[in-house]
């Protein structure tokens, strides 16, 4: 299995550790422990619980992939305990289903000002300057005075590397 980022591994571990068999009838969060239940809710069949787990994995994977250009949905699904029935083809190779469960890039573009706002830089005298400074340091040979129009991958890199304002 490929190495995941620290946050991706922590999220995958949490997904894998949960008992999803009664997720349709309870809302008690990560504290759930079936041994402490006072009432026995109806349980999902194992394949139904696997469906809940894969859907939770896809939702979390979407958020991770939107912000991490190196995110590996296959490694994340495996670490999250998603059943091989979803993850693998009959020959054991990775299934295309994992990538199909998350939205691909929309082709949307971003400006430094938009990204700075997402990072909490809302009161800069020159909006987006913190992002432009990062981009200039990363691209020192770029032609000066040209507007920055960033792809999703470039925006994800900025969001991963420019610190949030505290």
Torsion of CA 96, 9, 83, 2, to 10 degrees: 50
Rounded distance, CA 106 to CA 16, Å? 29
Rounded distance, CA 36 to CA 3, Å? 34
Is residue 22 within 8 A of residue 46, CB to CB? The reply is no
Rounded distance, CA 73 to CA 87, Å? 10
Is residue 89 within 8 A of residue 104, CB to CB? The reply is no
- End-to-end CA, the chain: 35
Torsion of CA 36, 42, 44, 49, to 10 degrees: -30
Q: pLDDT 10s per residue in the chain (166 long)?
A: 568 888 889 888 888 888 788 777 777 666 666 677 666 777 888 888 899 899 999 989 988 887 776 788 899 999 999 999 989 888 888 877 887 787 666 667 889 998 888 888 888 889 899 999 999 999 999 988 899 999 878 888 888 888 887 6
* Residue 78 pLDDT: 95
Per DSSP, the chain holds a count of helices (H) and strands (E) of 8, 0
Is residue 95 within 8 A of residue 88, CB to CB? The reply is yes
How far from 165 is each of 3, 39, 88, 120, CA to CA, in Å?
Answer: 28, 45, 41, 5
Side-chain half-sphere CA neighbours of 145 within 13 A: 0
């Amino acid at each position: 299995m490929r190495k995941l980022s620290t946050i991706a591994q922590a999220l995958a571990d949490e997904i894998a550790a949960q008992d999803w068999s009664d997720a349709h009838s309870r809302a008690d969060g990560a504290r759930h422990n079936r041994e402490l239940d006072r009432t026995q809710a109806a349980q999902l069949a194992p394949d139904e619980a696997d469906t809940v787990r894969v859907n939770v994995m896809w939702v979390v994977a979407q958020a991770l992939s939107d912000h991490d250009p190196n995110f590996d949905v296959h490694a994340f699904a495996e670490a999250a305990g998603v059943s091989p029935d979803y993850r693998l083809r009959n020959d054991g190779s990775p299934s295309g289903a994992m990538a199909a469960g998350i939205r691909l890039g929309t082709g949307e573009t971003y400006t430094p000002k938009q990204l700075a706002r997402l990072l909490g830089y809302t009161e800069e005298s020159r909006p987006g300057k913190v992002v432009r400074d990062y981009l200039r340091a990363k691209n020192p040979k770029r032609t000066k005075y040209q507007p920055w129009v960033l792809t999703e991958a470039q925006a994800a890199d900025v969001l991963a590397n420019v610190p949030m304002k505290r």
